Amino acid sequence: MIRAIATIALLSAGAASATTPADDDNITFEPARQTASADISDLLALNMSLADETWQAKFKQPKSEKSSSSDMEREQEATPGTETEVTAWTSAAEAINSKTKLDAVLKPYGYDSTNMSLLATAPQAIKHYTALAFDAQQQLAAISIGDKPDIELKQALDKAIYGAAGGYNPAATPTAGLATAAGREAVCEQSGEHNPVKTIPTMVACVCAVKKGMLAAKAPCGPNTETTVTWQPAGLPALAAWNKLRTRCPVLSDATITASKVEHALNKAKQAFYNKEINLYVGKYNSSGCNGSDNGACIKYINQAQPTYPNSTKRSGLAS
């Protein structure tokens, strides 16, 4: 369970790892990769080389500037395809309009103009696969990705993680789910006016940090001797404590943050919720409670385990 929340904490650090400077809480994005369609010009040329001469003639350019009667007749014929298709087929016809060019097209397949008759049984199969490849290429070209600018993506991710842009801010009380400045016990256990699952940092703070004056052995994150990962007397853990929580989370082998990884981590975090009677819990709960000092460290979310659980509708950016 702690690992699930820790995964969220790691994601909230952007591409940060354990070696990231403590004051680096900025989310950055890798440059967008351009999607390139495959070059099927060789396949189109091979297909054209196996077509009958009548079909090839529809796309071959006149060898002289003088127009013959056959050229005029060809121009008057119905267009044999769409503009895109005609352009592609004309290029394919140009690629085989001499013996040298034809041999170059056939050579990769072990043939040339002297033995291409051995391909007599292949035209239909090659035509079929060429058509599939051409259609796939056109479908890819028609796709509109519509990526948003990085600044908009960062703002959306910041809001999903922190509740607002700007990264972790222990003073942003309403944004973090605290109705007023309050300590850990009031926010994470009593929960009457507070929403401890509104943001990921507040959730992590409830599970992984304890109240001021904790017993050393009660630290759920870090060594048992750790005494600084605490809430402030009337507020979230200070920035230095939050940075310790971030850098002690498990380091992902692939630090690239993607939308699917964020979605997976959020879903995993939702699975860390469980109910007892009418209350919802996240973290280390025992029969005595979870005040983060003498008892376990957890979130006690009152009346949120009915009629179904987990009820995470109050989590900023997290659908139930």
- pLDDT tens by residue, 183-217: 888 888 765 688 887 888 888 888 788 777 766 54
Banded model confidence at residue 48, pLDDT cuts 50, 70, 90: very high
**Residue 103 and residue 114 in contact, taking contact as beta carbons nearer than 8 Å:** no
Distance CA 270, CA 264 (A): 10
Residue 313 lies in a domain: no
Residues 124, 183 within the same domain? no
Q: DSSP secondary structure string, 20-60? A: S-TT------PPPPPP-----HHHHHHHHHTS-HHHHHTTP
**pLDDT tens digits, residue range 265-293?**
767 766 667 677 777 777 666 665 665 55
Rg (CA), the chain: 33
Residues 171, 53 within the same domain? no
Q: Could you check whether the bond before residue 307 is cis, i.e. omega within 30 degrees of 0?
A: yes
Distance CA 187, CA 198 (A): 11
Q: What is the DSSP letter of 147?
A: P
Distance CA 12, CA 10 (A): 5
Residues 96, 129 within the same domain? yes
Residues 101, 84 within the same domain? yes
Mean pLDDT for 98-117 is 91
Residues 84, 130 within the same domain? yes
Domain count, the chain: 2
Range of the domain at 116: 41-142
Residue 175 lies in a domain: yes
| Structure tokens that stand for 86 in this block | 């005609």
Query: Which residue from 147, 131, 137 is spatially nearest to 36, judged by alpha carbons?
Result: 137
**pLDDT tens digits, residue range 209-231?**
877 776 654 556 666 667 788 88
Mean pLDDT for 178-182 is 90
Q: What type of residue is 28? A: T
Domain stops at, among 79, 107, 142: 142
Residues 181, 275 within the same domain? yes
Residues 75, 166 within the same domain? no
Cα torsion for 300, 306, 309, 313, to the nearest 10°?
A: -80
- What pTM did the predictor assign? 0.49
pLDDT score at 229 = 83
